[in-house]
Amino acid sequence: MRRRLGAAVTDGFFLGAAKGAGLLPVASPRFHKVTVEKNIPYRRTGREAHTLDVYRPRDGSGPLPIVLYLHGGGFRFMSKDTHWLFGLIYARRGYLVVNVNYHLAPEHPFPGAVEDVSAAWQWLVENAARLGGDLSRVVVAGESAGANLAASLTLMTHQRRDESYARDAYGTGVTAKAVVAACGLFEVSNPERFRAHHTFFRDRIEEVTDAYLHGVTLRDRRTLELADPVVALEGLTQLDRPLPPFFLPCGTWDLLMGDTQRMVKALHRLGSTRSEAREYPRGPHAFHAFVVTPQALRCWKDTFTFLSANV
């Protein structure tokens, strides 16, 4: 009962905030000189989970740098429609943005979301030129669960693996120029590491594990590597393709700060020395979504400074 109540409060807050913000005049793409093409299928299943939206700067010219955006929500709620703000933010800075839906847990547990992300990547590779995007300047971005998926996609495109969907992603031959992975949950299978934290926040992590890894054998570490990308990277000595630089922002009030710190250490050890972890004082989880706060404004400034130097 406690966990269900906590989930209802958390889900309601984030969904309500996204819906309410979307009603404001400033949320209109036209206000930001951005156009949006919605609900494009990237898998021919007829399912809403297999659609994406494309955001374009209205005045953009020439092949544009691309952002493939993967929304957060604990792998079990939220969508591209709740994350319209991220599409606008990147597009108004000159990026072609592909904002992706994917199957949600617990109805579709791991590796459902990872399979979908691989399919979205393949769709992007096949369609980038038609969309006016530059495949040599692709950014993979996401927050929370989306940061996990961004890291897992990067692992699939940089390391040969046995899974068919991972082979397909690697087989495109295309890799990201940079990754923005904000406040990421980079190890899903081990909620026990949060035992010392407040019950409310510990419950939220356990919900993610229970939903996303429903039916998965936790003893099979190889199977779980794409659910726990930081563990996978910590266990490697080299990759088949050099890793791109990661920008890893996280608030100091975020329970997941430890995952960000582990990730940047693993990336540096594997040669991605331009990867940066940035800590934002008193920033809670997903603080950068509340774009009027000083921490969020600083985070977005740092994000685009990083991208300008690396893309």
Confidence at residue 163, expressed as pLDDT on a 0 to 100 scale: 96
> Whole-angstrom Cα distance, residue 109 to residue 128?
29
> Whole-angstrom Cα distance, residue 149 to residue 182?
11
Residues 41-83 have pLDDT tens digits of: 999 999 999 999 999 999 888 899 999 999 999 999 999 999 9
> Whole-angstrom Cα distance, residue 130 to residue 146?
26
Confidence at residue 202, expressed as pLDDT on a 0 to 100 scale: 84
**Six-digit token string for 107:** 């109805």
The 3-class SS string of 23-67 reads: CCHHHCHHHHCEEEEEEEECCCCCCHHHEEEEEEECCCCCCEEEE
Cis peptide before 281 (omega within 30 of 0): no
Give the HSE-up count for residue 88: Cα atoms under 13 Å, Cβ half-sphere: 17
* Structural domain boundaries in the chain: 2-310
Q: What's the fold here for domain 2-310? A: Rossmann fold (3.40.50)
Inter-CA distances, 38 with 82, 116, 187, 271, Å: 13, 18, 32, 38
Q: Which residue has the tokens 């597009």?
A: 91
Confidence at residue 220, expressed as pLDDT on a 0 to 100 scale: 74
pLDDT in tens, the chain (311 residues): 545 544 444 545 455 655 555 545 567 888 889 999 999 999 999 999 999 999 999 988 889 999 999 999 999 999 999 999 999 999 999 999 999 999 999 999 999 999 999 999 999 999 999 999 999 999 999 999 999 999 999 999 999 999 999 999 999 999 999 999 999 999 999 999 998 876 678 888 999 999 999 988 877 778 899 999 999 999 999 999 999 999 999 999 999 999 999 999 999 999 999 999 999 999 999 999 999 999 999 999 999 999 999 99
Alpha helices in the chain (DSSP H): 2-22, 84-92, 112-131, 145-158, 164-171, 199-212, 221-224, 229-234, 257-269, 294-310
The phi and psi torsions of 68 (rounded to 5 degrees) equal -90, 110
Q: Which residue has the tokens 């971005």?
A: 141
Find residue 96's DSSP bridge partners.
66
Confidence at residue 14, expressed as pLDDT on a 0 to 100 scale: 52
Confidence at residue 21, expressed as pLDDT on a 0 to 100 scale: 58
**Six-digit token string for 308:** 């300008």
What is this structure's pTM?
A: 0.92
Q: What DSSP character marks residue 174?
A: -
